Structure formats: structure tokens, C-alpha cells
Amino acid sequence: MESIPFDVMDPACPSRVVLQRIGDKWTPLIVQALKDGPLRFSELRVAVGGITPKVLTQTLRALERDGLVLRKVFAEVPVRVEYRLTPLGESLLDPLNAVREWAESHADKILAARDAFDAATD
Amino acid sequence: MESIPFDVMDPACPSRVVLQRIGDKWTPLIVQALKDGPLRFSELRVAVGGITPKVLTQTLRALERDGLVLRKVFAEVPVRVEYRLTPLGESLLDPLNAVREWAESHADKILAARDAFDAATD
DNA sequence: AGTACTTGGTATCTTTTGGATACTCTGACG
DNA sequence: CGTCAGAGTATCCAAAAGATACCAAGTACT
């Protein structure tokens, strides 16, 4: 077992690019929305509240290109398109969950800090 | 212990705001750069490769406001400013590490998927 | 007295990204 | 023929990020 040759602190390292893809605004939400199985475009739109179709398309295309999500078109009418996680995408669920749980369980403390700060800066 | 009242999937939920702060482009890198103790502005600039001073300032101010980072000015000459993690900021290290390790250990797979995709889309 | 040096930033301008909203395309169906 | 559903595009505007240059305080040097 050798050491990891990637270092996110190096701006020239590919892992930096990867980190910024998975740490973008919508990726974590989309990946987690797909955790229980495939969803269609319109279902994703609802599951991930607040995303516009343009940005959803952009993000899904990026996830597809990076091998995290699979897009499958069914020749029905009206056309049906399903998005599902690849195994690589599923492997991202655990780390993402850790962050999400932190966000949900510490949100109150952050909001409190923000209020205190804003009150002090009057 | 009751269940968590926050849900990142809800665009109106405060945890969504929190998630997007900690999942922004530079926050994870800055927080991890501070994991071994305080750093000065200029040290952070080097530790987090590629960040411009403007964005570093903006991000640090946001982290300070949210109670994740503490800014301390020493009345020396030239002035010295130290940034350190608060306990709340330290609690973020574990989840962030999980994501970073994923990024570093799966970067090669993502790059491969990208190459394959781009080759297919010729 | 003038001036250079260090640190920790701002100011300004340009480019990129994100968001709102309206529209398109396809093929059944009434 | 007009309408409907699903999956997006197109267009335009606002917000954020990036590059680069500059500024302020104070001491030390000449």
C-alpha cells in the first residue's frame, strides 16, 4: 500500500478539480437525491428543491461525464429519462452523508454565531 | 434526543445555507489548512494554493461570521494576524476529511471516466 | 527628513457562473 | 387540428470569482 499521490492543496493537482466538482452547489444534493434508486428529470427537480432546469441539466451532464451518474433514455412517449448513480457515485454517498449530517446537526450553532456576529457589528 | 429538524433538501431550510457555505469552493481547503494550528494570512495564502487575496479575505470573513474561525490581531509591527479554528470549526474536520480522502483516492477514476466520455463524444 | 520594507489586506476591472423565465421538440390523443 | 406531457434549450440578467494593482501603518535605515 503506497501513499496517495494526489494532494488537494496543490492547485495543479487533478484531485483539486475533483474536489471542486463534488463540492459544488448542487452535486451533493443531486447525488443524495439518487441514493434510493433512479429518478427522472422532473422527479429530481422536485427532490432537489430550488434548482432550475438549466442548472440541473448542466450538473447532471457534468456528473455523467465524471462517471458518477448514468443517464438512460427510454423510447416511450412522452420520452422518459432516468438518472441513476454508478458504483462510483454510490461510493460518494458516505462522505457526502457525513457532511450533510454535520450541516443538519450544526446549523443551529452557525445561525447563532451569525446572529451574535451581526449583533456585535451594529 | 429528538430527530434533526433540518433538511438540506428543503430550499427554505437553514441547513441548506449552511451546507452551501461549507461546500463552497475554498472553505474546505482553508479549514483543512488550519487543522494543525493557527496560520497567518500570508501563510494561508501559500498553504491553500491558488487562492487570491480578495477571495481569501472574503472566505475568512464568512467563516469568522459563522463561528468556524477566529481572527486575532497582534499589535506588532508589521501587524500580525492569526486565524485559528474554533471548536465548531474543528468539528468540521472529520466530515471534510472524508470528502477529501474520497477526492484524492478516486481522482484517477474520475479522470478516466472523463477521458472515456470525451473520447466517445468526438 | 525622506524613504524603503513588511504585512494584511482593498480597489478595480474582466470573466465565469448561476438564476429567472420563456420557449422548443416529439409523438400520442381527442 | 389543437392539446398535452416530459425533457430539456435559449435568452437575458445578476452574482460571484479571478487577475492585477494599489494602499496604510509603523519602524528602521541613510
Q: Evaluate if the CB of A78 falls below 7 Å from strand C.
A: yes
Alpha carbon separation from B36 to A37, A94, B93 (Å, rounded): 40, 25, 11
Q: How far is A76 from chain B (nearest CA, A)?
A: 25
Q: In the prediction, which pLDDT does A2 show?
A: 65
Residue nearest to nucleotide D5 (CA to C1'): A78
Mean predicted confidence (pLDDT) in A44-65:
96
Q: Which nucleotide is nearest to A76 (CA to C1')?
A: C27
Mean predicted confidence (pLDDT) in A53-57:
97
Mean predicted confidence (pLDDT) in A41-64:
96
Residues 6+ apart with CB under 8 A from B64: A117, B70, B71
How many C-alpha atoms does B56 have within 13 Å on its Cβ side? 19
Q: In the prediction, which pLDDT does B121 show?
A: 74
The x, y and z cell numbers of residue A82, run together, are 432516468
pLDDT band at A87 (very low <50, low <70, confident <90, very high): very high
Q: In the prediction, which pLDDT does B5 show?
A: 82
Q: In the prediction, which pLDDT does B116 show?
A: 94
Q: Is the pLDDT of residue A108 over 70?
A: yes
Q: Which residues pair with A83 in a beta bridge?
A: A39, A71
CB contact under 8 A, B8 and A91: no
How many C-alpha atoms does B8 have within 13 Å on its Cβ side? 29
Residues 6+ apart with CB under 8 A from B32: A8, A9, B93, B96, B97, B100
Q: In the prediction, which pLDDT does A1 show?
A: 64
The x, y and z cell numbers of residue B5, run together, are 429538524
- Taking 50 as the pLDDT cut, the residues of chain B under it are none
Mean predicted confidence (pLDDT) in A58-85:
96
Residues of A in contact with B60 (CB under 8 A): none
Q: In the prediction, which pLDDT does A122 show?
A: 63
- Judge contact between B92 and B31, C-beta under 8 A: yes
pLDDT band at A77 (very low <50, low <70, confident <90, very high): confident
pLDDT band at A81 (very low <50, low <70, confident <90, very high): very high
Mean predicted confidence (pLDDT) in A36-61:
97
Residue A35 (CA) to nucleotide D14 (C1'), in angstroms, measures 33
